[in-house]
Amino acid sequence: MSGIIGTSHSKSKVIGRSKDTATIWISFNGGTFGIKDSFNVSSITDNGVGQYSVNFAITMKDTNYCGLVSVQGTYNNDGPWVGMISTKSTTTCLIRNISATGTFWDSGDHNLAIFGD
């Protein structure tokens, strides 16, 4: 039970986990490359400036999962910076932090949430 009166959730195959709960999530610092907190993440890999692989502690059923990324907002001469998932597999995904002009950057806080089986 979620504890919210009048709300019901369909449960996934994992007892007690709702389908609207993130299967995998992580919060890390791209500048210092430190994991702040995570769930179902085994490690992260620094693939160069502004590029990180998040390695899963579980194997996803397929790559049809939904991934959401947020990064600490930064503005400079290159314009706004955006975090995105550029490659997905069942065991890892690649996050890139890129500017409007195509420049990669190791900014501060990065957050990833993945929903799926």
What is the per-residue pLDDT for 31? 76
Tens of pLDDT, residue by residue over 40-64, are 999 999 999 889 999 999 999 999 9
Residues in CB range of 2: below 8 A, 6 or more apart:
9, 18
Q: Which residue do the tokens 């501060």 mark?
A: 108
- How many CB atoms are located within 10 Å of the residue 7 CB? 8
Ordered by start, the domain boundaries in the chain are 24-115
User: Does the 24-115 domain belong in CATH 2.60.60?
Assistant: no
Q: Specify the pTM.
A: 0.78
Output the average pLDDT for the chain. Answer: 82
